[in-house]
Amino acid sequence: MAISTNRFSKIIQLRKRYYELSRGKQSLLDIISEVEVSEQVYNSNAIENSTLSLEETEKILLQIDLDRFISVRELFEAKNLARVVEYINKRAKEQLLTEDVILLIHKMLLSNIRDDVAGRFRKANEFVRVGNHIAVNPEKIQPEIEDMLIEYNTSLDKNIVERIAKLHLRFEFVHPFIDGNGRIGRAINNYLLIQEGYVPINIKFLDRKTYYDALQEFDSYQKTEKMEIIVFKALVNSYFKRLAYLEHKNIITLNEHSKTSKISHSNLLNKANRQTIEAFVDKGVWKIGVDY
């Protein structure tokens, strides 16, 4: 098991701090969630080869004209995924994740892109390939999804990181849709995290190679360790960011912090990557909250 009990206790401690500090501060938390939408959309789309930059994604969501031509598909990919993220932020605490919910958010995602396949699983003879992996036979999709949800909901002896990682890997292995599997899979991660009282995570485009390595590890060996580490680090990152705001810290870049703390930037980056300091990646830049 990649995530030990001692290591997972860090998540529990951060979660407890977060809940204690978040009382009476829902408006601040709502703002953080709203600001994060564009970054969630950018990273998830970029992992799937979208050419949009974070700045361009932000402009699209703010309905600001871009300086270059982009395809109608990329325009709707940004708008639709933002709609999915916002839906999850609002509804995940109100209803359990079911097959119907998965189909609903898939329909949102592919609306005006692939209306012919939006909101439905692959049908007979609709096969898809991801790299060297041929997804499961369409006839097996529904029972596989049902079993995936049952396993998630009954494996309460495992921690949330293990459960999320396993479900995500199973979902991507099944690849139930003709299009949009990666985006929906990452959206489901956050649906379940929010549903169970955790904060959402953002798997970064910068971590794309590690992410695909984790998918390959499961495809080849049915192992989940690499994905568990990705989920764990993303969850810690998300808590560090929120705690910095809730504790009214002065949020600066690690580069700026190195100048005032007299600690080398490389040393700080090493500590940040090992998560021994409460630094977090925000819009592709390492930042940290410090006392004024």
Is 16 among the domain residues? no
Same domain, 53 and 156: yes
Same domain, 190 and 285: no
- Read off the pTM: 0.96
Helix/strand/coil (H/E/C) assignment for every residue in the chain: CCCCHHHHHHHHHHHHHHHHHHCCCHHHHHHHHHHHHHHHHHHHHHHCCCCCCHHHHHHHHCCCCCCCCCCHHHHHHHHHHHHHHHHHHHHCCCCCCCHHHHHHHHHHHHCCCCCCCCCCCCCCCCCCEECCEECCCHHHHHHHHHHHHHHHHHCCCCCHHHHHHHHHHHHHHHCCCCCCHHHHHHHHHHHHHHHCCCCCCCCCHHHHHHHHHHHHHHHHHCCCHHHHHHHHHHHHHHHHHHHHHHCCCEEEEHHHHHHHHCCCHHHHHHHHHCCCCCEEEECCEEEEEECC
Residue 130 pairs in a beta bridge with 133
Q: What is the CATH number of the domain that holds 56?
A: 1.10.3290.10
- The per-residue pLDDT for 34 is 96
Same domain, 292 and 153: no
Domain-terminating residue out of 246, 267, 283: 246
Work out the number of other CB atoms within 10 angstroms of the CB of residue 123: 11
Domain span including residue 263: 248-292
Query: Going residue by residue through the chain (292 aa), what tens digit of pLDDT does each one get?
Result: 457 677 899 999 999 999 999 999 999 999 999 999 999 999 999 999 999 999 999 999 999 999 999 999 999 999 999 999 999 999 999 999 999 999 999 999 999 999 999 999 999 999 999 888 899 999 999 999 999 999 999 999 999 999 999 999 999 999 999 999 999 999 999 999 999 999 999 999 999 999 999 999 999 999 999 999 999 999 999 999 999 999 999 999 999 999 999 999 999 999 999 999 999 999 999 999 999 8
Same domain, 174 and 90: yes
- The per-residue pLDDT for 1 is 47
Residue 251 pairs in a beta bridge with 289
- The per-residue pLDDT for 2 is 57
Is 19 among the domain residues? no
Same domain, 257 and 236: no
Is 12 among the domain residues? no
Same domain, 195 and 284: no
Tell me the pLDDT tens digit for each residue of 202-248. 999 999 999 999 999 999 999 999 999 999 999 999 999 999 999 99
Same domain, 190 and 55: yes
Is 131 among the domain residues? yes
Same domain, 97 and 214: yes
- The per-residue pLDDT for 38 is 98
Is 64 among the domain residues? yes
Is 193 among the domain residues? yes
Tell me the pLDDT tens digit for each residue of 246-277. 999 999 999 999 999 999 999 999 999 999 99
Same domain, 147 and 281: no
Same domain, 159 and 291: no
Structural domain count, the chain = 2
As given in the structure block, the two tokens for residue 11 are 């998540």
Is 188 among the domain residues? yes
